[in-house]
Amino acid sequence: HNMEVKGHVLVWHVTSPPCLEDMSPDEVGSAVKRHIFTTMGYFRDRIQIWDVVNEALASDGTLVENVFYRKMGPSYIEQCFRWAHEANPRAVLIYNDNKVEGCGYGSDDNPRYRKNAPLQAKSDGFYNLLKDLVGRGVPVHGAGMQAHFSAGGVKHQRPPTPSMVKRQIRRIGELGLKVNISEMDVRVSKLPQDEALRSRAQTCIYRDILTAALSEPSFDGVWLWGFTDRHTWVKNFYYDDRPLIFSEVYERKDSYEGVKCALESISPDEAKSLVNRKYIDCDVDENGIEWGHEWMQPEPSSDDNEKDSTKQGNPDWLLPS
């Protein structure tokens, strides 16, 4: 049906074979290069967009000390992009990561903005990594922000506001890169057992986050991580949930209408757009009401100081949710 396909992903430590640990640095480098050339070569005339490296950042914004980091050094990301460009000079090459979607205002000067995004350090690390790659002439063309959101999440799992997402996209776009939302879904089972509330929260996140993203010129697409609640990775990795825009019996949910509404926000005919834009550029409206106030959960009163194992290579979607 002439559908464009994005290749995902060439280099990700979570899905790499254990045998890499037993190889020398030169052997690992040769294996990675061979993998990139073989995969991109096989799909050369069919796939022209690739996520090259995935989830190379720890929660604190520094590089994960994964097998590629230990064997090839911190420049392995740059090397992978250069190999990918050599394998197919026409391909669009993307760096992809999770929980990097929001950027805070940076200060407490304005009560209508929040100073920090839920995981500001990682968002900053994402931006700084891309800025460094661009500054050194590495052939990276875009950034993928996964957007696996939990409506009832707290701490690092709290969803960013639409204006935080807009701000992150804008500063990455100013580097000359395109930005996409690459794996979007919205979990709701951590909210109270109120189906109407869960539906409103999920619809709000899909609609408002995408509307904010689509308002930025550098934003060039969204991929949903599935389309029906019957088949979702969330049930295998987390718990029973309904994070997508079609139900288990393939019926359109309210969140489907939320996505549709967001897409209509870029229509030349403003009359067709029903989206409320008041939270695109701020976190708190003129009446002091915060985005998501109806369903956003309060932060826990105690600091659990949960162990952060992302630096050692454990993905942050395995941290307590």
| Catalytic residue check, 55 | yes
Output DSSP code: residue 272. G
Could you give the angle at which helices 195-214 and 254-264 cross, rounded to 10 degrees?
20
- Are the C-beta atoms of residues 63 and 312 closer than 8 Å to each other? no
Q: How far, in Å, are 54, 231, 232 from residue 236 at the CA level? A: 20, 10, 8
Does the CA dihedral 181-241-259-231 come out positive or negative?
positive
Cα(189)–Cα(195) distance, rounded to whole angstroms?
A: 10
Output DSSP code: residue 10. S
Maximum distance among all alpha carbons in the chain? 62
DSSP H helices, 162-301, are: 162-173, 195-214, 234-237, 254-264
Beta-sheet strands, E only, within 11-106? 49-54, 92-97
DSSP H or E run through 185: strand 178-187
Cα(174)–Cα(259) distance, rounded to whole angstroms?
A: 26
| Catalytic residue check, 183 | yes
Annotated active-site residue in 78, 101, 183, 216: 183
DSSP H or E run through 144: strand 142-145
Question: Which amino acid is present at 142?
Answer: G
Annotated active-site residue in 27, 55, 174, 270: 55
Name the residues annotated as catalytic.
Answer: 55, 183
